[in-house]
Amino acid sequence: QPQLVESGGGLVRAGDSLRLSCAASGGIFSSYTLGWFRQVPGKEREFVAAIKWGEFGSHYAPSLKDRFMISRDNAKSTAYLQMNSLKPDDTAVYYCAAQYRLSAQYMDRSEKYDIWGQGTQVTVSS
């Protein structure tokens, strides 16, 4: 199964953009549904976006779909999260997750993912 490493986080100002990357090593990357989640200390992990294996259908948290975009490059075994018009409320640790052939109906459920990266901090200042 793949191991995941996130990168691309940092400190930005409100209104800026960031692109997070999730690089996978091992496993057949194209057979895994990839998800992005975020967590603020003291709060539950929150679904951000996911992209399905196979036809690459994607799903977003309703409040984020107008500003965030998930994509994947199977040739590079990498998933991306493009985040635009960032707000201070977007400040969190962002995690990449993978699950073998996870179906679309479960893509927003963190408990359905077995493989997680270490997370990357995103801080948005006002």
Joined tokens for residue 78: 């990498």
User: By the 8 A CB rule, do 122 and 92 touch?
Assistant: yes
* Average pLDDT of span 55-78: 93
Residue appearing with tokens 């107008």: 66
Model confidence at 26, pLDDT cuts 50, 70, 90, reads confident
pLDDT at 112: 97
Residue 20's identity, in one-letter code, is: L
pLDDT for residue 55 is more than 90:
no
